[in-house]
């Protein structure tokens, strides 16, 4: 998966562009990310191990900053990624 550095003024190290762009499209349609987005990101971190936890955390934080708000699902997902014992 493509992971790029983003704007140097942010604290984010790497943001998964696939998930960031997907979140932007979801937000444009419904002012939040879809449940499919939340589930797929979890799968890619924990099940398939295609994305590191830190990259997932950076991606979720970037999405939160883009949206200027966050829903319960996004906050819950962030806490799951930060928990060392899922």
pLDDT for the residue numbered 61: 93
Q: Is the pLDDT of residue 69 over 90?
A: no
Which is higher by pLDDT, 84 or 75?
75
Task: Please say whether the beta carbons of 57 and 46 come within 8 A.
Answer: no
Structure confidence by residue, pLDDT tens digits, 40-56: 999 999 999 999 999 99
Tell me: pLDDT of 3 over 90.
Answer: no
Residue 52 in contact with residue 45, Cβ under 8 Å?
Answer: yes
Pairing between β-strand 15-16 and β-strand 3-4 as defined by DSSP bridges: antiparallel
Mean pLDDT over 67-83 rounds to 89
pLDDT, tens digit, for every residue of 9-47? 455 568 999 999 999 999 999 888 999 999 999 999 999
């Amino acid at each position: 998966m493509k992971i790029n550095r983003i704007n140097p003024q942010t604290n984010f190290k790497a943001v998964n562009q696939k998930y960031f762009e997907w979140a932007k499209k979801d937000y444009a349609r419904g002012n939040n990310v879809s449940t499919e987005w939340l589930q797929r990101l979890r799968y890619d971190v924990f099940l398939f191990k295609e994305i590191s936890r830190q990259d997932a955390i950076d991606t979720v934080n970037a999405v939160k900053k883009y949206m200027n708000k966050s829903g319960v699902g996004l906050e819950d997902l962030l806490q799951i990624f930060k928990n060392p014992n899922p």
